[in-house]
Amino acid sequence: MLAKLLRPKTTVSAHCDLPCGVYDPAQARIEAESVKAIIEKYNANEDPAFRTRALIIKEQRAQLVKEHLWVLWTDYFKAPHFEKYPQLHQLFNEATKLAGAAGAKGTTDPKIADELLAKIAEIDKIFWETKQAS
């Protein structure tokens, strides 16, 4: 009797952990744009104190890029997406590496930031295609 009373009256399903609207590659892109801007400011300034602060902030922002990408990769995208877009795992792997220590986190080369932004743009395109199909 108690189980019957506590049983949900409505069953809801979603392809992601929460109903859509909470996931968006824009968060990763915004942080990656910050990384690029910091790299440019770092390269244009010779003050050691400024450069030290810039590196610290750049590394924090690059870490946030990785975290936003991981959430999309592991929580939003599901098996049907990976079947339809077989390059998606590789794309996320490359993007998170470009944000990591071997990428934007560990360099002051603006080309790496541009490559990271390009990978995020590819993910963004696929993301919005999947949202159209939902």
Tens of pLDDT, residue by residue, the chain (134 residues)? 666 666 766 655 554 455 555 789 999 999 999 999 999 999 999 999 999 999 999 999 999 999 999 999 999 999 999 999 999 999 999 999 999 999 999 999 999 999 999 999 999 999 999 988 76
Integer angstrom CA distances of residue 74 from 42, 51, 78: 33, 34, 8
Residue type, 51: R
Domain extent listing, the chain: 23-133
Cβ–Cβ < 8 Å for 86, 103: no
The confidence score (pLDDT) of residue 132 equals: 87
pTM, whole model, 2 decimals?
Answer: 0.84
The confidence score (pLDDT) of residue 6 equals: 67
Tokens of 99: 């944000």
Pick among 3.40.50.920, 2.60.120.260, 1.20.120.400, 3.40.630.30: CATH of 23-133 = 1.20.120.400
